[in-house]
């Protein structure tokens, strides 16, 4: 998915509102213990806390850079799928001819072969995007309450329609049933494409040089498919993800024990100048604790949801929209009637699917 509208502070607050409430309540509890109940031994030196915060900032920065790298690589892969798909349709349209045909072949039959090859490619795109939307044990998007709210608000096409129904318009019943028996369904579709090309070559409907050219395009599809599968099936290293999550939690737990005493000491220095305000200055530590905790938590969470670019978050690669856009382009190249071509998946809350 891809958001087309910038995030606002309101959106970010709503996304992290439950955690923000916890941060505020935790800071209030520590302040009450320190300032009201006078448990002043709850005072940690600020220097080690600052050192922990610095280390956590480096870890979070590394995680966010790595997550963005995975998203950007996935987007480049699917950009390659867009370009190569158009190349495939162009070559199919121009290289499937009767120029070297063994038997007489009508233009209608040739067009049927072209349509079959293009439609089977759309089926490959469909099977690939469904494979990318499958869940993995390490994907954590749905573990957060506000992420589940998002997933319930939107309608991801692959979660609404099953693969069998989605493949039906593009394949014959026999091919569809064959593909559905395979674990790697998108790979099986590329094998079917190659077999079809071989039959066409044997009939002389595809010249040998054209056959090699089209096979090279299929090879490129296998390469792009493998790259996409690599990102899907190889997670961001869990030792980094787990430690980052743990370190942020430790830092947030320690933070009030350093900030609250600091604000208390500042309040004591203000007693001579602001006697009415000084005793309550310690309570300003609550919003400061909450703000710092929110920044570290939000940055870590952004990196966490960006680890898997096909999971369904607002900043994921919009593979459904990309695949449907390719389908529209290819079917227009076949000169199909506009009303027979499906429309693009609608944006939801300014987000492409």
pTM to 2 decimals?
Answer: 0.87
- Statement: residue 4 has pLDDT above 50: no
pLDDT tens-digit readout, 235-262: 878 777 788 889 999 999 999 999 888 8
pLDDT for res 115: 95
Long-range contacts of range 336-341, CB-CB < 8 Å, 24 or more positions apart?
Answer: none
- Statement: residue 345 has pLDDT above 60: yes
Do the Cβ atoms of 163 and 180 come closer than 8 Å? yes
Q: Which of 24, 19, 78 is nearest to 304 (CA)?
A: 19
Return phi, psi of residue 171, to 5°: -130, 155
**Alpha-carbon span 75 to 52, nearest angstrom:** 35
pLDDT for res 42: 78
Return phi, psi of residue 46, to 5°: -70, -30
pLDDT band at 330 (very low <50, low <70, confident <90, very high): very high
Higher pLDDT, 350 or 253: 253
Q: What angle do CA 255, 257, 259 make, to 5 degrees?
A: 65
pLDDT for res 11: 67
For residue 199, the surrounding DSSP H or E stretch is helix 185-203
Which residue stretches of the chain are H helix? 9-15, 17-31, 46-95, 107-133, 145-153, 157-160, 163-167, 173-180, 185-203, 208-233, 238-269, 285-305, 319-333
Do the Cβ atoms of 78 and 228 come closer than 8 Å? yes
pLDDT tens-digit readout, 194-205: 999 999 999 999
Average per-residue pLDDT for the chain: 87
Return phi, psi of residue 349, to 5°: 55, 45
Domain range summary for the chain, segments of one domain joined by +: 2-352
pLDDT for res 268: 75
Q: What number is the average pLDDT over the span 204-226? A: 95
């Amino acid at each position: 998915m891809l958001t087309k509208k910038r995030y606002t502070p309101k959106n970010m607050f709503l996304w992290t509102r439950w955690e923000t409430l916890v941060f505020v309540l935790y800071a209030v509890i520590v302040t009450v213990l320190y300032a009201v109940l006078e448990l002043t031994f709850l005072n940690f030196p600020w220097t080690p806390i600052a050192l922990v915060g610095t280390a956590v900032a480096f870890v979070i920065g590394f995680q966010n850079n790595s997550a963005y790298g995975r998203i950007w690589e996935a987007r480049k892969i699917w950009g390659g799928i867009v370009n190569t798909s158009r190349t495939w349709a162009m070559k199919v349209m121009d290289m499937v001819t009767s120029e070297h045909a063994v038997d007489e072949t009508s233009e209608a039959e040739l067009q049927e072969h072209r349509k079959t090859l293009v439609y089977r490619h759309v089926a490959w795109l469909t099977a690939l995007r469904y494979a990318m939307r499958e869940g993995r044990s390490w994907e954590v998007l749905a573990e957060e309450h506000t992420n589940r709210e998002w997933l319930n608000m939107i309608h991801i096409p692959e979660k609404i329609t099953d693969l069998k129904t989605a493949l039906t318009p593009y394949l014959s019943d026999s091919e569809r049933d064959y593909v559905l028996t395979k674990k790697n369904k998108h790979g099986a579709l590329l094998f079917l494409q190659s077999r079809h090309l071989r039959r066409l070559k044997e009939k002389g409907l595809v010249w040998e040089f054209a056959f090699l050219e089209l096979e090279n395009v299929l090879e490129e599809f296998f390469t792009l498919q493998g790259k996409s599968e690599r990102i899907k099936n190889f997670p961001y290293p869990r030792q980094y993800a787990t430690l980052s999550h743990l370190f942020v939690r430790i830092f947030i737990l320690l933070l009030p024990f350093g900030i609250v005493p600091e604000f208390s000491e500042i309040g004591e220095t203000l007693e001579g100048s602001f006697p009415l305000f000084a005793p309550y200055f310690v309570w300003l530590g609550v919003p400061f604790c909450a703000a710092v905790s929110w920044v570290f938590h939000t940055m870590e969470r952004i990196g966490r949801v960006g680890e898997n670019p096909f999971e369904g978050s607002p900043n994921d690669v919009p593979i459904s929209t990309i695949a449907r856009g390719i389908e529209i382009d290819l079917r227009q190249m076949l000169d199909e009637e506009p009303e027979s071509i499906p429309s693009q998946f609608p944006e939801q809350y300014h987000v492409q699917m």
